[in-house]
Amino acid sequence: MYAKLAFRNIRRSLRDYIIYFVTLTLTAALMYSFLALGLSPDILAMTENMSMLTTGILILSVLIAFMSSFVIGYAVRFMLGQRKKEFAAYELMGMEVKTIRNLFLVENGIIGGGAFLLGALVGTGLSGLLNQVIQNIFEVPHTYRVLFSFRAWGMTLFFFTLMYGFGMFRAASVIRRQKVIDLLYDNQKNEEIGFQSLLRSVLTGLLSIAVMVAGVILLEKGLHIQTNEALLYCGGACLLILVAVYELHRKIPVLLYLLAKRNPQRKYREENLFFLGQIGSRIQSSGRTMAVVTILLTISLTTMFIGLTMGAGYKANMEAYYPYDAGVAIDAPLTKNSMDTVRSFVEKRCKVEDSATYYLYTVPGKSIEALSLSDYNHLRDILGFSSVSISNNEFLVHCDTWNYVDDIQQRLEQQSKITLNGQTLTAAETPILTEPMEQYQMAGTNGYVLVLPDKVASQLPGEKIRLVMKLADGGYPELRSELRQFLNSGEWLPDIQPGQELPEKMTMGITVKAWGVANSLTGFTTLSFCGLYLSIIFIILSCSVLAFEQLSSIDKNRKNYAVIDRLGVSSQKQVALIRKELSTVFFIPLLFPIILTVFLIAGTQLLFGKSFLQEGLVLFYGMVTILLFCAIYLTYFGATMFLFKKVILRPKIR
Amino acid sequence: MSEVLKLEHIQKYYGSKGNVTKAIQDISFSVQEGEFVGIMGASGSGKTTLLNCISTIDMVSAGHIYLNGTDVTEITEKQIAQFRRENLGFVFQDFNLLDTLTISENIALALTINRVPAGDIDGRVREMAGNLNITDILDKYPYQVSGGQKQRCACARAIINQPKLILADEPTGALDSHSSQMLLSAIQSINETLGATILMVTHDAFSASYANRILFLRDGTIFTEIFKGNNSRRTFFEKILDVLTMTGGGVSDVC
């Protein structure tokens, strides 16, 4: 009997449950698809560090389950509010509170179970798409193939039960505590409107701004500290900024509302008076929720942008970081023969098609190193670039770090001649070349290098030696650890240049492109996917909260709109008012996150834009972030608007 | 005095096929400008249905309703809003004030919807509040004032645009006797001093005694009507009670 009643109740309350059901389904779908991805043996086998993705997704799933449980609690409060009269009727008919509670839990169990099953199904489909995206990133041949994992399924069920169980526990305790009289007459209670004075609101607003400025100063300080103390500074700064954002979002709407009401021209224009009343009520009842949503959206947008941009930036810069198949860099005055054994070691494992052993020469009194023209051309040849020539009294600069190019150009225009060991050299006809050569370890260490005629270079001290190799099929990732092991073992005996000594600490670097590519892609995948996972779910949760907040006041709103209907406000005007009201409520929490995101995009472009080797990358991912966010946000807004309009504009008898 | 409202053979049925309820069977009457007409009857007699039909909230099944010469039954959905703005004022039992606005703003709302210039609004609100003795509560919210004050605010909102007809549905239904008396005096004063035409539905004989004419409904038809004429309110009240005693059931109902 009760099961039948529960089913009927669900069918009847479909309107109230739809957003709740969609949110639960989406959360389960995203959770399953990301967990399936993070736990997929195929994905994990792609690189040795791929477990980073699993760890990231698991940690985020715990956080998401925790946050979702609050949203479910919120949704439950909304549903209980909608059904107060029904529960009162059950109680008056003699149904025990325990039975009512069980009825509600059965209903929600059916909804939750349905949402989980549907979510897992959608998630399985989605996992196929995510799988394809990852395969595509790693340039592995792929077809659409769903990822079905019992482990992922079990973990999703665990997290889902955890978050849903918390919501249900809360619902049970609310039902137990409610009195019949409250259930019967709660919706007849007057809405109490009361705000702080304008002066007090302004003062609190100013104080919040001061707190935010303090937070930014602290953050700036923290970013310049190299010790663990930085964490303390940054943590404190984030806390101050979030408190300020929360308080500002509580005060700004109040300030705007009070200011609008002070101006009779604005207040009495058309239906503004009614609109202001509606908004005042929203600010009063949902101010805290909107401020919390603001914080969630701020975290979502920044996480999504940082995740996508940093991930893509990582990938874009990868080619420049690893232009050589394999390379060994040793900052010590060794003879070129020292590198022969290293080359032989590699040759035994992988065919070496070409190799170059060369020095990065020290230029006395300058913070720049030099390459001899022949070594430089050899490197160009390995990289597939054409050779260059300069005469015996010329030099050129190679700089693949494009933010230094303008500066070098200017300096060369001011001073086109240099004197080394008594010989004056003039800048070549094409004084700067910019092809990617990896200039922070292999072809220089500052992002640029001087290219000198062989005769001039050979007179300079060669204190840093390099070996680069072109390997058949590009080598393999494990070569890096094998090389490292070899160089640190007693098998390799470095030969020191005559009259030189080994430095106390010898810096040694090994690069293997195959390893680098795999790990860069892992970093890219982990950053991007974790960023997306967290932010999409946070956006969905925030939107759900906003939607429930609106729908929970739908009956009160219906009454208010019925009043203006009788006062002669047309249906079209009412639709426009509903749109304006909902837009305002959905827009207020967006104020800070959008401003911050725009600043973040502009700031990232300004500070790091030049570091990304793909032009327009920051702006592109900034746009992707905003568009993805808008798509989810507008869908929820549209659904809320649809339900709101449907209920409020339901024909009033006529 | 001109005719403000005229009803011609109004009928209103609910339901369909074999399950039809006749809420109004055949009602015709007219109201002159400046009249204060009461409509009385037992529950289910069709009072509220009649008021809803006149106020364009509900549609008639047959017949015509003319308000100031306009046939209300012919008005299209698009014209209704403008028609209500220009011709009707409402007072309801449960006040229907907006909790989100102050008393003053609730009254001003009717003016803003009628596009009255912003500069005139505060003055007109104060003047109307003075007439209804609610000046000192203008800046309060509805939850901060008594039921009687709320209903006077609702009255002020209903008449501030000087509508052709004020429709009141059990205006004293949610008030105590003292508040009811104050409100009814206020409505009477609006009728007498401002010349407002009022149609009030009530089941309370005391409230009805403030009207000039009472229409008694029974089973969807006008059972009888009585006029106050030159009688005192007390005499009129007794006449109303006499009619109510009769409307309780006819000779034909006694077996």
Quick one: pLDDT band at residue B134, thresholds 50, 70, 90? very high
Helix boundaries (H) for A435-553: 454-457, 479-488, 513-551
Of B88, B108, B141, the CB nearest to A268: B108
* Average pLDDT for chain A: 85
Give Cα A630 to chain centroid, integer Å: 15
Per-domain boundaries in chain A:
1-189, 327-513
Cα–Cα separations (whole angstroms), residue B159 to A334, B107, B200, B209: 102, 9, 14, 21
Stretch A589-606: mean pLDDT: 87
At A398 the pLDDT is: 93
Residue of A78, A100, A83, A85 whose CA lies nearest to A181: A85
Cα–Cα separations (whole angstroms), residue A40 to A50, A126, A491: 10, 14, 40
The string of pLDDT tens digits covering residues B149-190 is: 998 999 999 989 888 899 999 888 888 888 888 889 888 888
* Cα B49 from Cα B55, distance rounded (Å): 10
What are B14's strand-pairing partners?
Answer: B21
Q: Is B110 helix (H, G, I), strand (E, B) or coil?
A: helix
Q: Do residues B152 and B187 touch, judged by C-beta distance below 8 A? A: no
Stretch A587-609: mean pLDDT: 86
* Cα A118 from Cα A26, distance rounded (Å): 9
Chain-chain contact of A264 with B121 (C-beta, under 8 angstroms): yes
Residue B146: is its pLDDT beyond 80? yes
Question: Which is higher by pLDDT, B162 or A403?
Answer: B162
- Please enumerate residues of A whose Cβ is less than 8 A from a Cβ of B: 190-193, 264-265, 267-274, 277-278, 280-281, 556, 559-560, 562-571, 573, 652-654
Chain-chain contact of A270 with B115 (C-beta, under 8 angstroms): yes
At A155 the pLDDT is: 92
At A281 the pLDDT is: 83
Q: In what order do the strands lie in the sheet with B221-227?
A: B88-92, B165-169, B198-201, B36-41, B213-218, B221-227
Tokens of A408: 């070098």
* Average pLDDT for chain B: 88
Q: Is A322 helix (H, G, I), strand (E, B) or coil?
A: coil
Stretch A191-210: mean pLDDT: 79
Tokens of A380: 């160009």
At B255 the pLDDT is: 40
Contacts of B143 in chain A (CB under 8 A): 190-192
- Measure the CA angle with vertex A160, ends A154 and A162; round to 5°: 105
Residue A625: is its pLDDT beyond 60? yes
Quick one: pLDDT band at residue A344, thresholds 50, 70, 90? very high
Of B52, B82, B108, the CB nearest to A568: B82
Chain-chain contact of B142 with A281 (C-beta, under 8 angstroms): no
Chain-chain contact of A570 with B56 (C-beta, under 8 angstroms): no
Q: Is B90 helix (H, G, I), strand (E, B) or coil?
A: strand
| One-letter identity of residue A233 | Y
Residue of A210, A277, A219, A278 whose CA lies nearest to A247: A210
Stretch B204-229: mean pLDDT: 91
* Cα A504 from Cα A516, distance rounded (Å): 29
Quick one: pLDDT band at residue A185, thresholds 50, 70, 90? low
Those residues whose C-beta lies under 8 Å from the C-beta of residue A74, and which sit 6 or more positions away, are: A289, A544, A545, A548
Chain-chain contact of A273 with B108 (C-beta, under 8 angstroms): yes
Chain-chain contact of A193 with B85 (C-beta, under 8 angstroms): no
Chains A, B: CB contacts within 8 A come to 101
Residue B9: is its pLDDT beyond 90? yes
Chain-chain contact of A270 with B105 (C-beta, under 8 angstroms): no
Residue B37: is its pLDDT beyond 60? yes
The string of pLDDT tens digits covering residues B56-100 is: 888 899 999 999 888 988 888 778 888 888 889 988 888 888 888
Quick one: pLDDT band at residue A111, thresholds 50, 70, 90? confident
The string of pLDDT tens digits covering residues A266-319 is: 888 888 899 998 888 888 777 888 888 888 898 889 888 988 888 777 777 776
Cα of first residue to Cα of last residue in chain A, in angstroms, is: 37
CB neighbour class for A513 (10 Å; exposed up to 12, middle 13-18, buried from 19): buried
Those residues whose C-beta lies under 8 Å from the C-beta of residue A29, and which sit 6 or more positions away, are: A118, A119, A120, A122, A123, A126
Most confident of A47-61, B14-28, B55-69: B55-69
Domains and CATH numbers, chain B: 3-248 (3.40.50.300)
At B252 the pLDDT is: 44
Chain-chain contact of A273 with B105 (C-beta, under 8 angstroms): yes
Stretch A351-362: mean pLDDT: 93
Of A271, A280, A567, the CB nearest to B100: A280
Which residue in chain A has the smallest CA separation from B82? Answer: A568
Stretch B141-154: mean pLDDT: 89
Contacts of B105 in chain A (CB under 8 A): 273, 277
Residue A188: is its pLDDT beyond 80? no
